Amino acid sequence: MDLSDPVKAVLLDFENVIWLTTLIGLALFGAWRFFFRSGDASPETDDETDRLDDVGLVEEGESPAVAKKARETGVPVSHFNFADLCFLPLVLVKYSLTLQLLGGKLFAFPGQAAEKAGLVQEAPDAAQLTEPVPLQMSVELILVDMAINFFLIGVIFLMIQWVGRRDLGTVFGFDRFRRMSFPQRWLWPAVWVLAGAIIATPTIIVVSNLMPRFFEGIFGEEIGEQAAVQNMRESTDWVLRVLLILNACLVAPLVEELVFRGYFYGILKRYTGAMFSAFITGAIFAVAHQSLLALIPLWGFALFLTLFYESSRSLWVPIGIHAVFNTVNVVLILLGVGGDGL
């Protein structure tokens, strides 16, 4: 990303504001719970178990933690812990320019210190480590990106199932529909996905088509599309096109929903609240696509996906809606009528 580009600078400033808001929100929500809601903490003692059992809130043989989780509204998040919150920046570094810049400066700091101490002649230039070099889309680059995406999935699964000793199906609601009878376990998620796609897809596409004129009126110049969209539209390499389509329609919905709705949203909701978490994670999701034209539409789309995730309590639903949305956009782009909405 060229930080001298005013459009890109706006995206970076927007992301910095969101991260600052996140830190302030975590501090305020944490202080509020510490000073005013300490008595509402989840019970862990035998005495509290007996108290809940007396009022019928704990089933026979059920722990207080399980009882509290059962009473949670929407997506349950009590299984997330402080270790997940600390681990979260490592998961998000692929999508956040702010975290990439911060990481580059941290890695450059030892070299600068060594240079001042006279241990080395010249320390690495921090700008070279922090400002990504614009790369032309290629088959190799897409394959590397897909590999990183699958690596992220593996890291999240490892953190949930191995480090945290939690069940993936329970954490992300993957097994929610599996408990139903045979027709319903396929019918209900299909109904959720179809309803969400029918509502969200045309709405976001219409809003996306209004964005070029809106932002060109502000900046006085034409705003460029996402690199993936531009390459999908213009590339003559059919292998590259196939990989871009596969990545947009299958890989990206799965990975982005796991990262943003499943992991990021769940952790932030655990330590703040549902509405605050929805707006923050939606904003980071939107700015991660590094397109000013797609910022507002994708922010709204992210809020919509979160709403359906909360309502269905299964991550399969936003994954399905996201996949349908991207597929429709890909078809429109290949037909020459699509916008910057992937």
The HSE-up count of residue 238 (CA atoms within 13 Å, CB side) is 0
What's the structural domain count of the chain? 1
Residue 60 lies in a domain: no
Q: Alpha-carbon distance 11 to 223, whole Å? A: 13
Mean pLDDT along residues 141-157 = 91
Give the per-residue pLDDT at 8.
Answer: 81
Residue 217 lies in a domain: yes
Mean pLDDT along residues 103-107 = 73
Residue 261 lies in a domain: yes
Q: Is residue 39 predicted with pLDDT exceeding 50? A: yes
Residue 339 lies in a domain: no
Q: Alpha-carbon distance 149 to 154, whole Å? A: 9
Range(s) of the domain holding residue 250: 6-42+78-334
Residue 54 lies in a domain: no
Q: What DSSP string describes 27-51?
A: HHHHHHHHHH-GGGSPP-SHHHHHH
Residue 65 lies in a domain: no
Q: Is residue 42 predicted with pLDDT exceeding 50? A: no
pTM as predicted:
0.82
Residue 187 lies in a domain: yes
308, 197 in Cβ contact below 8 A?
Answer: no
* Joined tokens for residue 263: 């992991």
Mean pLDDT along residues 288-312 = 94
Give the per-residue pLDDT at 339.
Answer: 64
Residue 262 lies in a domain: yes
Lowest mean pLDDT among 80-94, 147-161, 163-177, 223-237: 223-237
Mean pLDDT along residues 194-214 = 91
Give the per-residue pLDDT at 221.
Answer: 67
